[in-house]
Structure 1
Amino acid sequence: MSNDSLPNSGGATLEEDIALSGSYEQLHKPSSSFPNRDAYLNHELQIMQPKRWKPNLPFRDYRFEYEDAIPALAATIGKVVMVGAIAATFAGALNLGDAFILENVRYELLIVSFFVILFSGFLLPTANLAGTHGPLIPLIPIVVLAGGHPMAFGLLIGLFGMLLAISKGGSLLAELTSKGVCGGLLLYLGFIGTTSQVTKLLNWSKDINMPHIAFIVILGTIVLYAILENYNKRWLAVPLSCFLGGATAFLLGAPFAFETAPGMPHMSPMYWWGENTGWMLGLPNLESFMVVLPFAVLAVAMWSPDFLGHQVFQKISYPKRTEKVIMDIDDTMTSASIRQVVGSVLGGANFTSSWGTYIVPAAIAKRPIPAGAILTALLCVVAAIWGYPMDLAIWEPVMCVALIVGVFIPLLEAGMEMTREGKTTQSAAIVVFASALVNPAFGWSLTMLLDNMGLIGSKERSAGLSKMSRWIIPAGMFVLLTVVMAMVGMLPGIPALMPSFRH
């Protein structure tokens, strides 16, 4: 892993060991007063003093830097892709047309922009942006087949998420997750994500009868990424790789055309939840909520490992004395829950989680959350109204390489960094094993239980835990998740315990 990803690396000076006093405005210095750009970015992280539930204003509490454009670009590409995937999955299950997908994606981009500015850019500057819950996508057809309603699903996710945030349950579970467990989770997610995007790009090139294009694009991306690693410029990986992938594919003859014209989506919830318009489902009833209940519990339970992985990536990438600007898990859950409830009532197709395609590139670029969040919101508005950027964002040579270099390869590197010392490799291996058996939520909860009980990993760490932390809370989480997964038929080879989910 390159130096810009090592814990507390990047131009540490004696100034880091001196207590800083004064406001951000007083402590800010121009970049020209530092020996290099890295030292300036480190200093900016160290002097920020984010305020919870109080106004955080640009230039008074933080500044915009050109590095903020990188995570903003990656986040916008990722958002279009993920929301499009959820809307398309619903559209297929409910027999809705392509017009529904396009219009709902545009609608969601406008909805999320408002909440990104309100929370991450203004009121909760250590709350990561509320993104999209990708692991739920394969479950959507099952929910629809059982009679689930997307509004009921979203409202319950928001409700359970708020309860977890208020009880500080998210940060508690993060504290109980060891480096080995977290590192293994990052390794699994990074590897699965990388291979899936490579496979997707290869399949796309075969579908257009130009199988050589994928090989050339991927090879060029690997070489470019290695060069950027060598010069400690990984934060440039997303824009340069997107440009390289798109330009290479186009020059080699891959078909591409701008088709999504400028426009605005329907903005009325009455349209989206009408009997014959939008979703064509009307409003949910009590049965709709009962059907989606286990899936909502599972969705929120999966937030903790997802949020933890993003927080840890910041901790690995940021220098010392930056605890104040590290992503707060409970605040992120709060903002995500509120955004989920409002978005579902308005008629959006999104299911929320921590925005990985934003926070990972932002951590690499050593930037705090707020400034890039505002730029992300602006880019999402531009993409939604202009339309044409959405075509480019979902074009495979651009989309796949953006996700690979912007999210999944950095997750692999962070996972390897966390598991290179002590007995962390034992826990990491079990996480990967158990995740491959069912899914990352199952792997995380099982391995956290085994690790905290001292059966694997560090015996000293286990011995220092209280009875509640050693096995009561981990066992409760594992049993809860396993029962919910058994109810909806997610355990391999075991039929769903609830008849309505059998298919």
Structure 2
Amino acid sequence: MAPRRWRPNLPFRDYRFEYEDWVPAMAATIGKIVMVAAVVAAFAGPLGLSNDFVIENVRYEMLIAALLFVVLFSGFLIPTANLAGTHGPLIPLIPLIVASGGHPMALGIMVGVLGFLLGVLRGGSLLARLTSDGVCGGLLLYLGFIGMTSQIKSLFAWANGFDMGYLAFVVVLATIVLYAYLEHLRARWLAIPLGCAMAALIAFALGAPFEFHTEPGIPNLNPMYWWGENSGWQLGLPQLEHFVAVAPFAVLAVAMWSPDFLGHRIFQQLNYPHKAQKVLMNIDDTMCVAAARQAVGTALGGGNLASSWGTYMVPAAIAKRPIPAGAILTGLLCVVAALWGYPMDLAIWPPVLSVALMVGVFLPLLEAGMQMTREGKTSQSAAIVIFSSALVNPVFGWSLTVLLDNLGLIGDKERGKGLGHLQRWIIPLVMFAVLCGVMAAIGMFPGVPALVESFRSLGA
């Protein structure tokens, strides 16, 4: 395959479809429904909006993603740009954003503008070059372990809710055995569809509650409805103070893109053949597409926060398939799920959801992280990034460890000597200082009051 950047890439001429492409397409569709629902619900709760609003907005967002970006950009115009997915790590901060006077439209537009600037200036690829294998490996290990344990806890919480905790144990144990057997057959790219089907059958057989309730239909396609004062979000259009309130969160969101995007590209490199360099994900192009998708989707009324689509890239890399063919199929499945409605209920059913994320994203991340930290030099950096990420969050851990690693204090001492002053300490130090300032302003340091709230209290 010879990707044509910003020129039409046509199916069957520039790339072909294989049956393996259905695997990342199915995983991406399940992940999309789940993650967008989580983002919109996190906004809807503090704003007092109903579950019906959440489902309607998720269906609308899936149509926006599928028709305007997944198929058009990753499928035709930029086949080395990963699909624009959902910014999962920002979800816990959404209630704080709303409490700070933030507006979903103000946040989305500001994230889009900042992300586009970073992509155009090639800041994403620069940060990728400054991040060593040890830092990447530690980051993948941390994200994989945290994600895995969170899904197991949520699955047990769901099962204990109707006094069937053993159901979660059976599902997870069966998933482990299935994944190990697929690994033995060298067919782990089948883990998502087979794992989800197995989890659903086990849960049904043991009597877990489930019912379809989302009926077929078309969501409201009028942006004025979504941004009306008495309809949709019921907020109207944002004012200047709304943009000021979301500015620290927008900076943090875009800063969190770099480790996320880098992890997806590294995972691709570890699984793709060595001669497949031309089809590897381009970090800067992916940032530009994610930023454009964020700005346009928000302007149209969607509530998604964009990032690189991990539930697509990870299984696509395992199946050793390039981006565009699976992107076309993903767009098709997203449209079907949004219009049909019923698949959305099955995708967000806890056993299906948790198993899809465990075998499709978090377990492969753990494996990739272990591969990158085999040597003693890389394990030092990996340990520090895990330690510091556990203290605050992955953004803090990544930025601090990049600084220490490039200075030669940890990891490969010779690597730092080959860098100039700008790359060795100026850029990492400025990046770390800016991110720490943003995180301190919004209260992300444990035990340290938010500077924004402290200043407000002094002003009052």
The TM-score with structure 2 as length reference comes to: 0.98
**Residues 419 and 428 in structure 1, CA contact (< 8 A), matched pair in contact too:** yes
Gaps spanning 5+ residues in structure 2: where? none
Q: What's the Cα RMSD here?
A: 1.0
* Alignment match, 1:429: 383
**Residues 495 and 502 in structure 1, CA contact (< 8 A), matched pair in contact too:** no
**Residues 146 and 501 in structure 1, CA contact (< 8 A), matched pair in contact too:** no
Paired residues, number: 456
Cα deviation digits, residues 434-467 of structure 1 (max 9, x gap): 0001110100000000000000000111111111
CA shift for structure 1 position 320 = 1.3
Gaps spanning 5+ residues in structure 1: where? 1-47
**Residues 228 and 236 in structure 1, CA contact (< 8 A), matched pair in contact too:** yes
* 1:321 pairs with 2:279: no
Out of 214, 217, 235, the residue aligned to residue 168 of structure 2 is 214
* Alignment match, 1:65: 18
CA shift for structure 1 position 421 = 1.8
CA shift for structure 1 position 323 = 1.1
Out of 39, 56, 60, the residue aligned to residue 9 of structure 2 is 56
Q: Which runs of 4+ in 1 moved over 6 A?
A: 500-503
Cα deviation digits, residues 152-195 of structure 1 (max 9, x gap): 00000000001101110000000000000000000000000000
* Alignment match, 1:415: 369
CA shift for structure 1 position 500 = 7.9
* Alignment match, 1:236: 190
Q: How does 1:22-421 map to 2 (within 5 A)?
A: 48-114=1-67, 115-421=69-375
Cα deviation digits, residues 126-167 of structure 1 (max 9, x gap): 000000001111111111111100000000000000110111
CA distance in 1 between partners of 2:422 and 2:137 (Å): 23
SS of residue in 1 equivalent to 2:230: coil
CA distance in 2 between partners of 1:176 and 1:318 (Å): 22
SS of residue in 2 equivalent to 1:423: helix
Cα deviation digits, residues 288-320 of structure 1 (max 9, x gap): 000000100000001000000000000000111
In structure 2, what residue type is equivalent to 1:104?
N
**Residues 146 and 500 in structure 1, CA contact (< 8 A), matched pair in contact too:** no
CA distance in 1 between partners of 2:251 and 2:372 (Å): 29
* Alignment match, 1:461: 415
* Alignment match, 1:489: 443
**Residues 180 and 426 in structure 1, CA contact (< 8 A), matched pair in contact too:** yes
SS of residue in 2 equivalent to 1:492: coil
CA distance in 2 between partners of 1:200 and 1:309 (Å): 24
In structure 1, what residue type is equivalent to 2:432?
F
SS of residue in 1 equivalent to 2:451: coil
**Residues 174 and 308 in structure 1, CA contact (< 8 A), matched pair in contact too:** yes
CA distance in 2 between partners of 1:118 and 1:396 (Å): 32
CA distance in 2 between partners of 1:194 and 1:413 (Å): 12
In structure 1, what residue type is equivalent to 2:46?
A
Paired-residue identity, %: 69
- The 1:501/1:424 distance shift into structure 2, 3 A limit, reads farther
